[in-house]
Structure 1
């Protein structure tokens, strides 16, 4: 999924001592549904655990990247959480600095 990093929490550690980083991602795209174009946009809560926290921590807020992972439940079981397992950052545009 291509998305921008909207928010990033502070690096924390699980009880087992594994690094974890909470984030919020924003995805926007043009898709075709039933033969008609449609614009979609959504925000999703995300979590990186382990080695991926280094790459996630290096992203600038607003930077776009390609994220891979899987969906799971939030801690309270009342929503979805995107677990990031891989990311490839897109370069920041020169005018964004």
Structure 2
């Protein structure tokens, strides 16, 4: 199963564009920061992930406030067939369920 969820803020977002097939798509950079427990030790986890929202979700994602924090759900895939870089494909997002939670990755 390839499912990725994280709580992150929208750090950067490009303008809505269309693929040659006419599918709307928005590219963005998401920023995640949380405290995680690993081997009984608390550690600060911070990362940026390149993300895209395609199809119906792209319109809602394009209207979301830049800098706002959401819980994103989707999957990871290669940027292209020959790339080793990963892209987070957003299939849904909503306000975080618990803004006080320290664990924002699943």
Same fold (TM over 0.5): yes
TM-score (norm 1): 0.88
Q: Give, in angstroms, the shift of residue 60 of structure 1.
A: 1.2
2:37 maps to 1:32? yes
Q: Give, in angstroms, the shift of residue 89 of structure 1.
A: 3.2
Q: Give 2:88's match in structure 1, choosing from 72, 79, 82.
A: 82
1:9-48 equivalences under 5 Å are 9-48=14-53
For the 8 Å contact 1:68–1:86, the answer to whether it is kept is: yes
- The corresponding residue for 1:65 is 70
Q: Structure 1 segments of 4 or more deviating over 2 A?
A: none
For the 8 Å contact 1:59–1:89, the answer to whether it is kept is: no
TM-score (norm 2): 0.80
50-59 or 79-88, which deviates more? 50-59
Higher relative contact order (CA 8 A, sep 6+): 2
Aligned residue pairs: how many? 90
Q: Over aligned residue pairs, what C-alpha RMSD do you find? A: 1.1
